[in-house]
Amino acid sequence: MKAAFHLALPCDNIEKTKEFYVSMLGANQGRGTDSWVDIDLYGNQLTFTSAGSFNFDFKNYRLSGQILPSFHFGVIVDTETWGKLYTKLFSKDLDVTTEVTFLENRAGEHISFFVTDPDGYKVEFKSFKNNTEIFLNT
């Protein structure tokens, strides 16, 4: 079953958040007011609500020798889209991690990078070597 995902998150500044997702990531803006906005990120609905200052305690974990944020969300895209987005974002003055390959030469191998949005969220973009292995148990 294919279904779009919905995620609602607090944000500090609606305008900066819209600018990042629409101008930087190429997402489409949906409905909204001056206190909330829907973002269409590759067919998934992100709803950002103006909440003022907030704080999450980020704990990290390790995968393939890399330290990753435990609190993050992301999108799985094809390799061409991934490469174009990585090149675009890496050339901007943004907090973008370098390209990493996870589970190399194993089931579930994928390339990944993270970018930090204006609210401090870590957004991951990944592309699998073989899409049939996205949910494969190893």
| pLDDT (tens digit per residue) in 90-127 | 899 898 988 899 889 988 899 999 999 998 889 999 99
The residue among 53, 69, 88 that closes a domain is 53
* Half-sphere exposure in the Cβ direction for 34 (13 Å, CA): 0
Residues 66 and 129 grouped into a single domain: yes
- The token duo for 61 is 């974990």
Q: Is the same domain home to 23 and 4?
A: yes
Is there a single domain that holds both residue 63 and residue 47?
no
What is the CB neighbour count within 10 angstroms for residue 1? 2
Quick check: helix, strand or coil at residue 48?
strand
Do 31 and 48 reside in the same domain of the chain? yes
Residue-number span of the structural domain to which 1 is assigned: 1-53
90 and 40 in a common domain = no
Per-residue pLDDT at 56: 66
The closest of 73, 72, 70, 82 to 110, measured between CA atoms, is: 82
Q: What tokens were used for 104? A: 């190399």
How many domains does one find in the chain? 2
On whether both 73 and 136 belong to a single domain, the answer is: yes
Q: What gap in Å lies between CA 66 and CA 90, rounded to an integer?
A: 19
Q: Which of 126, 121, 131, 71 is nearest to 99 (CA)?
A: 126
- CATH code assigned at 11: 3.10.180.10
**Does an H or E element contain 82, and which?**
helix 79-90
What's the token pair of residue 24?
A: 């930087």
**What pLDDT sits at residue 51?**
85
Q: What pLDDT was estimated at residue 63?
A: 72
> Would you call 18 helix, strand, or coil by DSSP?
helix
Instruction: Check whether residue 62 and residue 47 sit in a common domain.
Output: no
Q: Quick check: pTM over 0.75?
A: yes
> For position 58, what pLDDT does the model report?
64
Query: Do 135 and 67 belong together in one domain?
Result: yes
Taking Cα atoms as reference points, which of 91, 72, 69, 88 lies closest to residue 80? 88
Of the three residues 18, 36, 53, the one that is the final residue of a domain is 53
Q: Are residues 17 and 63 in the same domain?
A: no
